[in-house]
Amino acid sequence: MFDENTLEAARKHQEQWDQALARYEGRDFSSKTNSGIPIKPVYTPLDVQDIDYENDIGMVGAFPYMRSNYPIHYQFQPWVNQPVHGYGLPEDTRERMDALTKAGMEAYFGARAYNLVWDYPGYFGIDPDDPEAEGYIGKDGVSCNTDEDFARMLDGIDLAKNNIVLINGDTLPMFAIYIAYAESRGVPRSDLRGNTMNWVFTAWYAPNFMWETEDALKLATDNIHFCVNQIPRWNHTNIQGHAISETGADAIHQMSFCLATAIAVADSCKAAGLDPNAFMTGMGFQIAQCNDFFEYICMFRAWRKLWATIVRERYGCTRPAAMHLRTHTNTSCFELIKQQPLNNVIRSAYHALGAALSGTTAMQIPAYDEPIGIPTEESAILTLRTQQMLVHETGVTRVSDPLAGSYYVEWLTHRMEEEAKKVLKEIEDAGGFVKAHKEGMLARVLRKGCDQWREEIETGKRIVVGWNKYATEETLKVKAFRPDPEVARVSVERIKDYKARRDQAKTEAALNGVVAACERLKKGEWGHVMPACIEAAKAKATAGEISKALRKVMRWGPEYNVMLKY
């Protein structure tokens, strides 16, 4: 990257610096990043001399897109504000949506992205009137299970303009009900914009359940098949890096496990006959920005480059939009702690600053009170204000990829790239991602990461302010936010009433259609499951009922009542 004169000067300066260290009497000032990469106290042109500007770094908005997807980024439009929200009944969630809108939540071109999270029953395809739902209805997300619930939450909102993000685990049934609702309002599915998680395949390593791996991949692929053919603008898949991070992955493993997941999904789509240039544009990554400030920025830059390279070389894509790493930052949650909770506001602001300097395209910041409960309206709006202050007060949006060219940042970015390639190769050598997962390779890495993190805190090797250092008697009492206890009763009543009012024979016939479509999927016939789910939704089947129909054919597992003995 430098001419010989510069390198000669750098070598001379390095010698002088080495001599200057004498005054510290041989102490070792090296350290390690949170992923364990050894770090020196200073970097110079000598550390980046083998990095080639043209091929390794390049320009913003051009392949390999390491520096930014776009020629002009935040200067044209800042990242999308995408705070997660959802609790209680659909109308309670609507209140929060309106409060955030009033507080200035913005997406691209004057629209909004409503990042809606479901309660656990809705997440896993359990209706509120199922005994398994007891205790969980509307608690940590919205209880929304039918087209009528969607109407309570979304009526009056322009579905062709705003992004509706459906955060739940069992993707297809809720998505089908949303489409049925939209079409009942006269909005054709091809006009819809928003995101499904499509975690049917990717969420297994975070929680301890999910679809059996191969069937999960089939369902995820079939959802993509449907979107590519019928809702081309829909963001069909969210590769869940945040959950991987929260369950114990460091920056290197977050990036490489996500890339490996995305490769598995893309391979499956290609095998199903889909055109990578078409389906890649709906693939997104949810990325955790954590405590090691520079490491996570460098991870992000390396990630953009690796993905663009994989998409171009492995899948032969030519469209820039297919090569772009679409990112939704969800700043770290596991690093927010209960002790001295207001400190979390500051921690998250640092994470958010890191994400902004990384050039993320959307952002959600957890609220400071989340170790205590789900956010209050006040704490939720504070997370939005944190983003707004970054955009409007700090000046970080003036220049794209402002840290480029830093000897340290370029060196570490390159190093992150090399480390991720090593993990990707390990996974490839183990027979690919599906096999590596089934054999527990990834789960082992995550468990080790969790245990190590805790041990480092307990031994004082890792300092957490207010926990293992500067701890105080707690004086600030933060009261937990609680949805109205009536929510569960109302939700159960509503769904019973909904089921009582419909044409039962018609619903059952449509649910049988879902079972038949799954059987076709098992035989390798793509593209029938989502249309059948939409038909079922239009015949007034609930989310829980559609999920149950899927589970008659597609294997659900591992068994949730599994017992492990240590």
Member of 339, 343, 406, 512 binding another protein (CB under 8 A)? 339
From 26, 38, 110, 135, residue interacting with another protein (rule: CB under 8 A)? 135
CB 148 within 8 A of CB 195: no
Tell me whether strands 113-117 and 326-330 are parallel, antiparallel or unpaired: unpaired
Query: Is there binding between residue 338 and another protein (CB under 8 A)?
Result: yes
Q: Which of 247, 332, 379, 397 binds another protein (CB under 8 A)?
A: 247
Angle at 549 between CA 544 and CA 551, to 5 degrees: 95
Contacts of residue 41, Cβ cutoff 8 Å, sequence gap at least 6 = 29, 30
Minimum CB–partner distance for residue 242 and another protein (Å): 13
561 binds another protein (CB under 8 A): yes
The three-point CA angle 446-450-453 to 5° equals: 135
Instruction: Decide: is 140 part of the binding site for another protein (CB under 8 A).
Output: yes
Provide the minimum distance between the beta carbon of 112 and another protein in the complex, in angstroms, as a whole number.
Answer: 27
Question: Which residues share a beta bridge with 285?
Answer: 239, 327
Q: How far is the CB of 134 from another protein (least distance, A)?
A: 5
For residue 92, state whether it binds another protein (rule: CB under 8 A): no
> What angle, 0 to 180 degrees and rounded to 10, lies between the N-to-C axes of helices 147-154 and 486-501?
130
By beta-carbon proximity to another protein, the closer residue of 124 and 279 is 124
Angle at 273 between CA 270 and CA 278, to 5 degrees: 70
**How would you list the strands of the sheet with 362-364, edge to edge?**
80-81, 362-364, 326-330, 283-287, 237-240
- The answer to whether 43 contacts another protein (rule: CB under 8 A) is no
Nearer to another protein, 80 or 374 (CB): 374
Among 22, 500, 505, 563, binds another protein (CB under 8 A): 563
Task: Please report how close the Cβ of residue 372 comes to another protein at its closest, in angstroms.
Answer: 6
Residue 183 in 3-state DSSP? helix
Q: Is residue 128 involved in binding another protein (CB under 8 A)?
A: no
Residue 42 CA: distances (Å) to CA of 205, 411, 557: 38, 11, 50
- Rg of the chain over Cα atoms, rounded to whole angstroms, equals 24
CA angle, 307 as apex, 303 and 313 as ends, to 5°? 145
Q: Which is nearer to another protein, 2 or 467 (CB)?
A: 467
CB of 515 to another protein, least distance (A): 23
* Residue 524 in the binding site for another protein (CB under 8 A): no
Question: Which of 80, 116, 117, 126: binder of another protein (CB under 8 A)?
Answer: 126
Backbone phi and psi for residue 545, each to the nearest 5 degrees, phi listed first:
-70, -40
372 binds another protein (CB under 8 A): yes
For residues 181 and 481, which CB has a smaller minimum distance to another protein in the complex? Answer: 481
Would you count residue 454 as binding another protein (CB under 8 A)? yes
Q: Which CB, 20 or 564, lies closer to another protein?
A: 564
Q: What is the Cα–Cα distance from 418 to 231, expressed in whole angstroms?
A: 37
Torsion of CA 454, 289, 389, 62, to 10 degrees: 170
565 binds another protein (CB under 8 A): yes
Under the criterion CB under 8 A, does residue 484 sit at the interface with another protein? no
Closest distance of CB 533 from another protein, Å: 21
Q: How near is the Cβ of 457 to another protein at its closest, in Å?
A: 10
557 in contact with another protein (CB under 8 A): no
Please state, in angstroms and as integers, the Cα–Cα distance from residue 511 to each residue in 67, 84, 514, 515, 536, following that order. 48, 31, 5, 7, 6
Q: Which residue has the tokens 């910041």?
A: 365
Comparison of 38 and 131: residue with beta carbon closer to another protein: 131
For residue 317, the minimal CB distance to another protein (Å) is 34
Beta bridge partners of 211: 556
In this structure, is the dihedral angle defined by the CA atoms of residues 198, 202, 203 and 209, taken in order, positive or negative?
positive
What does the alpha-carbon distance between residue 82 and residue 244 come to, in Å, rounded to a whole number?
20
Residue 368 within binding range of another protein, rule CB under 8 A: no
Total residues binding another protein (CB under 8 A) = 43
Cis peptide before 558 (omega within 30 of 0): yes
Counting contacts by CB under 8 A, is residue 450 touching another protein? yes
CB of 464 to another protein, least distance (A): 10
Applying CB under 8 A, which of residues 458, 493, 497, 503 lies at the interface with another protein? 458
Binding stretches for another protein (CB under 8 A): 120-121, 123-124, 126, 131-132, 134-136, 139-140, 206-209, 246-248, 334, 337-339, 371-373, 447, 450-451, 454, 458, 467, 477, 479-480, 482, 560-566
